[in-house]
Amino acid sequence: MPQKNKKTIVIGAGIIGVTTAYRLAAAGRTVTLIDRDAPGLGASFGNAGHLAIEQIYPLASPSVLGNIPKMIFDRNGPLVLRPGYFLKFIPWSLRFLWASRPGAFRRGIEATKSLNRAAVPSWTALLDAMDLRPMIRQRGSVELFETEAAFAQAAGLVADLERHGVTAHIWTVDQLRLRLPALTGPAAGAIYYPDTAHCINPHRLVTEILAKAEALGLRFVQDEITEINEDEAGMVTLRGKQTSHNCDTVVLSAGVFSRDLITARGKKPPLEAERGYHYMLPDPGITVDLPVTFHERKFILTPMEHGIRLSGTVEFAGTDAPPTRNRARMLFQFAQTVFPKLQDTQGEEWMGFRPTLPDYLPILDRRGNTISAFGHNHLGLTQAAVTSQLVEDMVEGKAPRLDLTPFSLDRF
C-alpha cells in the first residue's frame, strides 16, 4: 500500500525532478523540491522540445568509433572536445569506447527502447491529469537527408527501426516539400516518424507542472544541497549552503550536479556535462509545424509557441568553461541552407549541460532511502514522465514496472 504523508525531498527542479515531485505529491506524499537555481533553468530550459522516441541508438556505438577523431577536431562539427579539457576527458572517453562494443550497444538499444516506448503514453496520461495536454503536440517529426549519399542509407535505417518497433516511413522530396513548403533548399528525402511529439515551450512546461504540484502542497526551496546522510534508522538528513532538511526518502535528479552528491556517498558514476547549444528565433519568417532533424549535421529545428528553436551540437569542456562564441548561431547558418527564407531577427543564444554517462543510459536506482534518477543525456524531456513513474514505484516500495537492471549504479 502507498505510504501516505511520508516526507520526500526531490533535489533538482528540471523536468525530471519537477515531474517526479508532482507525481509523488499527487500520490499523497509531503514533498519538498530543492534546487540551487530557479525551477527549469538548467538543461530543461533550452532543450529541443522533441519527444524523441525514435532515438533508440546510443551514441556509444561501433559505427561512431571511426568518426570520432574527425568529429572532435572539426570546430563546426556536431561533436567538439576543447583541447584544454582533453586530459580530464580521458577516463570518460575510455568508458565510452568500452560501451561501444557491439554487445553493449545492443543492450543499450533494448534499454532505451524500454523507456521510449512508454514515453508518449506516459506524458499523455500525466498531462491529461493536470489539464496541460496542449503543451504537447503530436504531429510526428521528420529526419531530413540533404544528400543522395546519405539518403541511400534511409531504407536500411527504416527497416532496422521497424524491427525494433519504431514506426517510420520514407518520404520523397515531393512529399517533404508538400508538408514543409518553406523547405526550398537542398534535400534528397526524409524519414517521417508519425508517433513522435514535441513540446511548445519546455521551460513553461516545467513551471506549469510545478504550479500544479504546489497546488497539491509541494514546497520549493532554492538552495544548493552539499551533503546527504542516512542514519541507521533510515532517516535522511540533507545539508545545504543555507538550509538543512530531514526526510524519509530523497530523490536525486540534479542533472550533472548529481555527480558530487553521489560520489560523496561512496559511488562515483562517470557523469559528464555534455554541453548543448540552442539558437532561438522569435521571428523566424517561416512556418514549420513539426520538428525537423538534420541527419548529416546532427541538430534539430523545433516549432514552439514563441518561435523556432535550433538545438544541437555536443561539446565537452566541463561546467566551468564559458560558452563557445557563435556555436549556437552556427545552427542558424546550417538551417538557412535548407530553409533560405529563415530569418535571424533578435536570435538568442543559449548553452546548457546535458547530464551524460558513457553508455548513454540514465541511472535509475535505489540505495537505502536515496533514489537516483539522473543522466538522461539528450532524452530528459522524452523520458521524464516514465521516469517519474519508475521513481514513484521505488519510493512506494513497489516492483518497478520496467526492468531497471540496465540503469543500475553498479554498471560502473
CATH of the domain at 252: 3.50.50.60
Domain extent for 18: 7-140+195-411
- The pLDDT value recorded for residue 5 is 67
Instruction: State mean pLDDT over 148-173.
Output: 97
C-alpha cell at 265: 556517498
Name the strand (E) or helix (H) holding 82. Answer: none
Backbone angles phi, psi at 119, to 5 degrees: -65, -55
The verdict on residue 290 lying in a domain is yes
Model confidence band, residue 80 (pLDDT cutoffs 50, 70, 90): confident
Query: Is 156 domain-assigned?
Result: no
Number of independent structural domains in the chain: 1
Position 388 scores a pLDDT of: 98
Average pLDDT over residues 133-156: 97
Stretch 253-261: mean pLDDT? 94
Give the residue-averaged pLDDT of 71-93. Answer: 82
Average pLDDT over residues 400-409: 96
Cβ–Cβ under 8 Å, residues 144 and 297: no
Asked, for residue 164, whether it belongs to a domain, the answer is no
Mean pLDDT, range 119-132, rounded to an integer:
97
Residue 382 lies in a domain: yes
pLDDT of res. 83: 86
Report the pLDDT averaged over residues 142-163.
97
The Cα–Cα gap between 375 and 272 comes to: 9
125 vs 345 pLDDT, higher one: 125
Q: 268 pLDDT band (50/70/90 cuts)?
A: confident
More confident residue, 6 or 198: 198
- The answer to whether residue 318 sits within a structural domain is yes
What pLDDT does 1 receive? 40
Q: What is the pLDDT of residue 134?
A: 97
Report residue 2's pLDDT band, with 50, 70 and 90 as the boundaries.
very low
Query: E-assigned strands of 209-339?
Result: 219-222, 225-230, 236-240, 244-247, 249-252, 272-281, 292-294, 299-304, 307-316
Percent of the chain predicted with pLDDT > 70: 96
The answer to the question of residue 146 being in a domain is no
Q: Can you give the pTM of this predicted structure?
A: 0.95
Do 380 and 13 form a contact (C-beta atoms < 8 A)?
no
Q: Is residue 145 part of a domain?
A: no
Report the mean per-residue pLDDT for the chain.
94
Predicted pLDDT at 68: 66
Question: pLDDT-derived band of residue 168, with 50, 70 and 90 as boundaries?
Answer: very high
284: DSSP letter: -
- Over 60: is that where the pLDDT of 349 sits? yes
Helix crossing, 119-130 with 15-26: angle to 10°?
60
Q: Is residue 175 part of a domain?
A: no
What is the pLDDT averaged over residues 307-331? 93
The residues, ordered by sequence, that sit 6+ positions from 170 with a Cβ below 8 Å of its Cβ are: 154, 155, 158, 189, 190, 191, 192
